[in-house]
Structure 1
Amino acid sequence: MAIYDKYFWERKPAAKLTGMKQPKPRLSDNNAEMTPIRVWQQRSDTFGFLQYGVRYRNGRLVIPISGTYFIYCYVDFFELCDPSTGKPNVKNASIPIKHGIFKFNILDAEESELVSKVQPHTISSNRYFNVYSSYVSTHAELKAGDEISVKVSNITYLKYTENNFFGLNLI
């Protein structure tokens, strides 16, 4: 890093991915408490980008250098409701909707939650559907090779994904 001196530090790793329609959940995801969002867009025409060493692999952002990062994610959840009562069409309404950012490093061989948000199911004001917006962000000390991913409690709630985004910046 001494070779690059000041020039290197002016080029901080950063990334922003935008949402897209999700494929059907994998069978291995059916019994999991949280399901990863595996597909993001990184094209510049969708305001997505990967800069200065950040890589994208299997729905995860791979950290190029160790440091403190600002990590953020926004998702919209869409939930159908019973028109006669306005209650959500879910098996168990006591289990809330959860959205979080997770860190994985192959050397540690375990995944840890960095930040999450929980949203309880509510009775719809229009009796047909609910829309929940969820934004989470945090600062995290990350090592080179760490992989950052987004998980949600029910991936079928991600209907209109074009406004969703996920990213990070070295600070």
Structure 2
Amino acid sequence: MMFSSSGGGPSAGQTCSLVLIFAVLLQSICVAITFLYFTNELQQLRATYSESNLACFSREDVLLQDVDADNIDESDPCWQVKWQLSRLIKKIVAKHRLEDAVSGAASSATGGTSQVSTANEREVSKNAVPRVAAHLTANQNRRHPENILSPALQNNLGYKINTWEAPRDSNSFLYNVRLNNGELVIPQTGVYYIYSQTYFRFREPEGVEPDADPDSDSVRNPKQMVQYISKYTDYYPDPILLMKSARTSCWSKKAGYGLYSIYQGGVFQLNMNDRIFVSISNKDLVDMDKPASFFGAFLVS
């Protein structure tokens, strides 16, 4: 007769199951305890932070003492709030003071206000740059070279243009500047902008027929055009060159005439009684067309 070898105690499988269940319960209890601990800590930090912010507004010195941005204690949790409030209060106070000052000035006696205004106007007028300017256009009634140009100047400065349109023309004017023999007389020392444009026109002489030969001079007709802007001064007898612009041009052999204009301008220091003028290199090519040839200057400072 056979008997079972198993005793009355739990089997190995039951023992493993009990150990596994106990481990899971223990881990759950640890997680729960950890969660409750950190939740409590976060609530305490939040409460401390809120009380700190409220304390910044409840402290007696938050609006009474000036906050120096250069001497801020960054360990103080209230320094940013105090600094911003201090700046805002100063800005509002300054604005109200300015409004009060403007209101007080407006309510002052009319005589006192007029005197202050007049004094300010005199100061501005004293510091303002006087109006010194000139713009001259060509004189179309005297377009022949012999009538508008002087003899050749020294220092190879060509022929000076003597005749410009008088200020009677609406396009010409003189403000505190004199025109004498084609020269603008500077009334005061200062920095001036000077400019000029000269119009050139070339025609073949009568009886000259264009040659079919491309090397013929009658076809190419190279012409040199130079415009000079110079000045006379009390300290030197000869003219002094300020600017020069040059061009050598060959007009089309099929054109009846050739046209070209030269413009230049610049800023120069001039003294009182200096005399500025325009001259050209080729007197046979200049054309004193009013809209195309002009000369001027104005005081900058």
TM-score by length of 2: 0.49
Match of 1:109, SS state, is strand
Which residue matches 2:254? Answer: 126
Which residue matches 1:84? Answer: 210
Larger Rg: 2
Aligned equivalents of 1:116 and 1:135: distance in 2? 10
Which residue matches 2:289? Answer: 161
**Percent identity over the alignment?**
25
Aligned equivalents of 2:263 and 2:196: distance in 1? 6
Match of 2:277, SS state, is strand
Q: Does the 8 Å contact 2:193/2:267 carry over to 1?
A: yes
Cα deviation 1:77-125 (Å, max 9, x = unaligned): 001146515322xxxx4x7210011011133222111111101031326
> Quick check: 1:116 aligned with 2:234?
no
Q: Which has the higher contact order (CA 8 A, sep 6+)?
A: 1
Aligned equivalents of 2:238 and 2:134: distance in 1? 23
Which residue matches 2:132? Answer: 13
> Quick check: 1:24 aligned with 2:146?
yes
Unaligned runs of 5+ in 2: 1-121, 212-218
Question: What root-mean-square deviation, in Å, do the aligned CA atoms of Structure 1 and Structure 2 show?
Answer: 2.5
Match of 1:156, SS state, is coil
Q: Does the 8 Å contact 1:71/1:167 carry over to 2?
A: yes
The structure carrying a bigger strand percent of its residues is: 1
2:227 pairs with 66, 87, 99, which one?
Answer: 99
Aligned equivalents of 1:56 and 1:151: distance in 2? 15
- Offset, 1:44: 4.1
Aligned equivalents of 2:231 and 2:150: distance in 1? 22
Which residue matches 2:9? Answer: none
Match of 1:155, SS state, is coil
Aligned equivalents of 2:153 and 2:278: distance in 1? 16
- 1:50-69 matched pairs, under 5 angstroms: 50-52=174-176, 54-69=177-192
Number of residues paired by the alignment?
A: 162
